[in-house]
Structure 1
Amino acid sequence: IVIGVPDSGLDAAIGYAEQSGIPYGMGFIKNKYIGRTFIAPGQKNREDKVRIKLNVIRSAVKGKRVVLVDDSIVRGTTITRIISLVRAAGAKEVHVMSSAPPFTDACYYGVDVDSKENLIACQCDYDMEKIAKKVGADSVGYLDVNTLHMIIGNKAGEGFCAACFGKGYPTRIPTGQKDRFEEKISKKQEEKAKESYEMYLRV
């Protein structure tokens, strides 16, 4: 069965199912009140949000070989947790497909794509078997970076930034910008964020 990680992985999962001939199914029920997990501050916080955000539909995956499609794999935090949830629901195998190429470089234009040392593709030397082992999947596959232009219908890929996929930055890399974004938030802000999150959990 092919299942997509809601909501951003659903379209790619449907397309993969159509092209592969493997049946598509709804694999998750999503809590709509939890935002993007990969931008949440702190590893533990991200893992907790994944647990609250997604519930696997056991009857859809139990005893099956699952192709799990997500929009991207950045640090690997979210997909690792999702794979463990799918396995706990009884899946025999879990094969992960990313509708984005491997992230190889940080983004300096507003997207929370981390520094090289925190990107799972870089940590694993772009080795698919190593990445699969690290996230707990039977296999991992990515979109080929050279086919990106097909998504936007532009043969030359003009006007499309693929810097975080290793295609070079369109402007000079700003100095200090990424470091500033990665600095720890103030103690007061940290306590306020923790208080809000704990209040949410109580509700």
Structure 2
Amino acid sequence: MPDSQRADARRNHARILAVAEEEVAAHGFGASLEQIARAAGVGSATVRRHFPTRRSLLEAVSRKRIEALHARAIDLAGEGDSRDALLQWLGDLVAYCVAARGLAAALSYDGTEPDPAQQNSCSATLEEAAGPLLHRAVRDGAVTPDVTIADLITMVVGIALATEHHPDPAAQADRLFRLAVAGVSPQTDRPGEIGPKLGG
């Protein structure tokens, strides 16, 4: 491919991604690929050439936030109480999913095989990053051994999708997250804590 065509392709990719970020912020998973193409000044075929599936587009739009969550997990991996570190990271994930429409959809299971072009999917990246947080909490007896990071991400995604149209999605998502962690029992095993052992 000539340099001029490669430069055009890079410009198109950047323009499509910038427009997609705005459309996904406004419309979430339902963002129109045709509208993205029109606003970016390219054809629908060009959008699909750069982003073959809706999921690949959502993952690209979410990439910076995924990288931030990845870095946050690394920062928390050696900090203080292992349960608190895991809950802090999950709380950040809840906040990101609520603030960044489309992120929860990018993390959700849709029954399709991962796009081969997206070798490191959003979910896989987060599972790899947060794995040490969970392993440390399990080792310390703060989380039951059968809980997986995939379970916890799925829980957060469900909360984010369920509260997306709530009048105050951030507050409602935070409330449901705390309820999910604490369970419905009135007891807590440590005063002032969010609730009993995760998975317990």
When normalised by structure 2's length, the TM-score is: 0.29
Q: Which has the higher strand share?
A: 1
The structure, 1 or 2, with the larger RCO (C-alpha pairs under 8 Å, 6+ apart) is 2
Q: Is the radius of gyration larger for structure 1 or structure 2?
A: 2
